[in-house]
Amino acid sequence: MAQITLSGVKKIYPGGVEAVKGVDLEIAEGEFVVFVGPSGCGKSTLLRMIAGLETVSQGEIRIGDRVVNNVEPADRDIAMVFQNYALYPHMSVRQNLSYGLKNRKMPKEEITRRIDDTARILQITDYLDRKPRALSGGQRQRVAMGRAIVRDPAAFLFDEPLSNLDAKLRLHMRGEIKHLHRRLATTSVYVTHDQLEAMTLADKLVVLNGGRIEQVGKPLDLYRRPASVFVAGFLGAPAMNLLDAHVDGGALHVGDVQILQGVAAQGPVIAGLRPEDVHARVQPGGAFRLEFVEELGGMRLLHGSVEGQRLIIQSPLQAEVGPEMALQIAPEALHLFNVADGMRITNAVRQAPEAADATG
């Protein structure tokens, strides 16, 4: 087990394309860190640099107190789980697990003991003598994780390990990974583009965009106080509503509709509202024009618009729904962002007086 430190890490591909543009990050011992971002944000490249599969163009990567920039992947004391599992197809599960250990000249009894332990943890004891071909997706996934666990490395690296599984199995394996981490407490770095997976697994969430870190922190902190429009729009499903708005004399307007009062900003802003933070009640002439309703079973999503801008509202089943509705928003639920750079405007809401009604 070890902490991992990235300082000023850059990846510049031949031809001048900068995939990772200077990343500084501390990963504490035993922490579960998730890199999340859209495709092409550099999250996989970053992980592969930690693994040693990509060279580091600039900066420094430390695992423990060792700079590993020029250390072979095998000597970094890490284990990696790949998206397509990368099991050795001609070897049995047992051989797959033991291959890395044999290459390290581990004594036979020790290998057997470790494989038995790992197989028990992952419940793959019954398949040890099968070939990967004869396993289901979930079982292959377990074997791929087993190959990492059996090594007992300083850190686990996961490269979108669940994206090849169907939705139900993915949920299940997500739980198992979480459980496993609690049990083994090994430093883990996990890459995904699925924000839900990221939110639920991470001790520390790293949102990447365009090769840079957008925000780092506990998942809920990021959810509650996104540092930028990008993070706000990326985390949460359905995503946060982002409206072009302007503040005039402390009142927030969308188009001609006043949404909220007591806002400490001035001029054009981007207003962020989580669907679950917006409440609507039926009122003829209300600002919200309902277009259609999405039934999710336990709740419903109201899709519509305010002054021509799309807005999604999460609504309880018992609430009434009508074609025109008035909006109710708690001031503390409002997120404001600069139009110019998309960064969060802090302390935007002066105080919380009575929730203002917005009627058109």
Partner 1 sequence: MVENRPFLTFLAHLVMVLGVLFVAFPVWIAFVASTHEPGTFLSGVVPMLPGKAGWETYRQILFSGVSASGAPPIWLMMKNSLIMALSITVGKITISILSAFAIVYFRFPFRVAAFWLIFITLMLPVEVRIVPTFKVVADLGMLNSYAGLSIPLIASATATFLFRQFFLTIPDELAEAARIDGASPMKFFRDMVLPLSRTNIAALFVILFIYGWNQYVWPMLITTDPDHYTLVMGIKRMVAVADSDPQWNYVMASVVLAMLPPVLVVVGMQRLFVKGLVEQEK
CB closer to partner 1, 53 vs 299: 53
- Our measurement of the distance from residue 330's CA atom to the centroid of its chain's CA atoms, rounded to an integer in Å, reads 27
CB closer to partner 1, 100 vs 255: 100
CB of 54 to partner 1, least distance (A): 10
Instruction: Name the pairing type of β-strands 187-192 and 155-159.
Output: parallel
15, 16, 39, 103: which one binds partner 1 (CB under 8 A):
103
What angle in degrees, to the nearest 10, is found between the helix axes of 167-184 and 137-149?
20
Instruction: Name the pairing type of β-strands 155-159 and 78-81.
Output: parallel
Grouping H, G, I as helix, E, B as strand and the rest as coil, residue 159 is strand
The reply to whether 79 sits near partner 1 by the rule CB under 8 A is: yes
Q: How many CB atoms lie within 10 A of CB 152?
A: 15
Q: Which tokens go with 262?
A: 């007591």
CA dihedral 45, 137, 98, 160 (to 10 degrees): 10
Taking the C-alpha atoms of residue 63 and residue 341, their distance in angstroms, rounded to an integer, is: 34
The reply to whether 322 sits near partner 1 by the rule CB under 8 A is: no
The reply to whether 99 sits near partner 1 by the rule CB under 8 A is: yes
The reply to whether 13 sits near partner 1 by the rule CB under 8 A is: no
CB under 8 A: which stretch of 73-81, 224-232, 281-289, 302-310 binds partner 1?
73-81
Q: Calculate the alpha carbon distances from 61 to 25, 52, 64, 210 in Å.
A: 10, 10, 10, 20
Q: How many residues in the shown chain lie near partner 1 by CB under 8 A? A: 23
x/- binding map, residues 108-147, to partner 1, per CB under 8 A? -------------------------x-------------x
The reply to whether 53 sits near partner 1 by the rule CB under 8 A is: yes
Taking the C-alpha atoms of residue 111 and residue 117, their distance in angstroms, rounded to an integer, is: 10
x/- binding map, residues 190-229, to partner 1, per CB under 8 A? ----------------------------------------
CB of 289 to partner 1, least distance (A): 50
Binding residues (CB under 8 A) for partner 1: these are 51-53, 72-74, 78-80, 82-84, 86-90, 99-100, 103-104, 133, 147
